[in-house]
Structures are given as C-alpha cells and as structure tokens.
Amino acid sequence: MPEKLLRKAVLNQIAWWKAVCATHDITTACMDNVWIADQYVPSYYPEMITETREATVEKIPDRVSTIMDSYATLQIPGFTKLFKAQWMTSSSVVPYCSEWKWVRNEEAFQNWLVAANLEGMLQPSIIDDPHVLVFHKEGYGGFSAYQSHGIIGIFNVFGVDHVFQDIPAVLANFFPKQPIVGYEADERLAAAMRGGWSAIGPLTIWTREVAVL
C-alpha cells in the first residue's frame, strides 16, 4: 500500500505542477518518464520532475535550475541537493472546526495569497480548476490541495504547526474517503509528524550549481 500511495503522490504532484504552469502559460511535456517545463517556472516550483524510479536526467536544458527527484534515486552532475524531504500521508482526524473556510472566489483567494506570501506565484485563475481546493482559517493558517489519481495532495501549507493536524479533518468534512498526501522537510516535516502524519518515501530537490567567478 505505501508504494502504491507513493506512486499516486508523485502523479498528483505532477498534475498540480502542470495546473500551476498552465495558469502562467507555461507548456509542459513528458519524455522518458521526466516532466519538463518549456521555460522558467514560478518560485518554489521545479522545471523538471521525475515520474518513476527508473527515470534519468541525462540531458538537462540550460533553462532548468531546479529538479524534483521524486524518489530520491538520482545523482545529478552540476546540481547540488537543495533539500531532502519526505512524502507523507495522514488519516488522523481531529474534530472539524467551522472557522476553516473553503476559498472559492477571487477576492478571498487574493487575501489567501497575501496571508500565504504567495503573491505572483499562483494566478487567480487556478481556483477555476475543479481539481483545486483552497482553505483558510483567519489568523491561523491555510493550505491548497489538488484532487487527482484518487487522492488529495496538499501544498502551500502555512501558519501555525497545528495546521497539519487540522488538514485531514478539514478535507474529510468534504471528501471523507480520499487519501491525503503531501511532502515536507526539516521543521515543517517534524510539525507534520507531531500532527499525525507518517512518512511514505523520500524525495530530493536539486538546484543547479552556480559558478563562482
């Protein structure tokens, strides 16, 4: 089950990435189990994502500055590890708090972007995608999510550490039967683990080495 869920988590990540790229008029394509964008992408997003454990990245265009190694299997010459992370899942559900709001209009989404410090990185048109879910609790935190491949992937988590504990309950109120996945690193990963999440596999984010003149 963990391996099957991990596979779905990777595919969900790619689906979310493609949706974000589309709102910025960035074309994406897959070749040899590696997804690549045709230009630079918004901050915090990679230009390349591996889809399978067998994927290799032998020919990397100069425009690529960040690569998501979805299974932490690669060594990439000319790149250094930006950070290691863990795919994770949670089925822990605490009592749902009605103060969480489902963000469904542009004005509320703009307020969410400001609270999340993501202005310019996500376009308002992203909420027109029926697979996209955005939630916010004023003065507490928020997150976005994407439904695909029979699961819900969470992204852009911000606010207090207890947000991780709340996420399964918020989503279960609307989508009670869909597994929830995400990935985090370092202190945010520790906060998620304290909130009832469990690791299902590693990933690595690589960044291009900058020559020192």
141 and 168 co-located in one domain: yes
84 and 104 co-located in one domain: no
Within a domain: 94: yes
94 and 60 co-located in one domain: no
**163-174 and 186-194 helices, crossing angle to 10°:** 60
Residue type for 140, please? Y
6 and 63 co-located in one domain: yes
Chain Cα centroid distance, residue 185? 12
Query: 3-class SS at 99?
Result: coil
- In the chain, how many domains are there? 2
Cα distances (angstroms) measured from residue 4 to each of 9, 144, 149, 197, 206: 9, 23, 11, 17, 24
pLDDT tens per residue, range 118-171: 998 999 999 999 999 999 999 999 999 999 999 999 999 999 988 999 999 899
User: Whole domain around residue 185: which residue ranges?
Assistant: 90-198
Cα distances (angstroms) measured from residue 200 to each of 99, 102, 177, 203: 30, 28, 19, 10
79 and 109 co-located in one domain: no
Neighbours of 162 (CB within 10 A): 14
Strand partners, 170: none
What is the rounded CA–CA span in Å between residue 181 and residue 10?
Answer: 10
pLDDT tens per residue, range 65-117: 999 999 999 999 999 999 999 999 997 777 666 789 999 999 999 999 999 99
60 and 101 co-located in one domain: no
Within a domain: 213: no
76 and 127 co-located in one domain: no
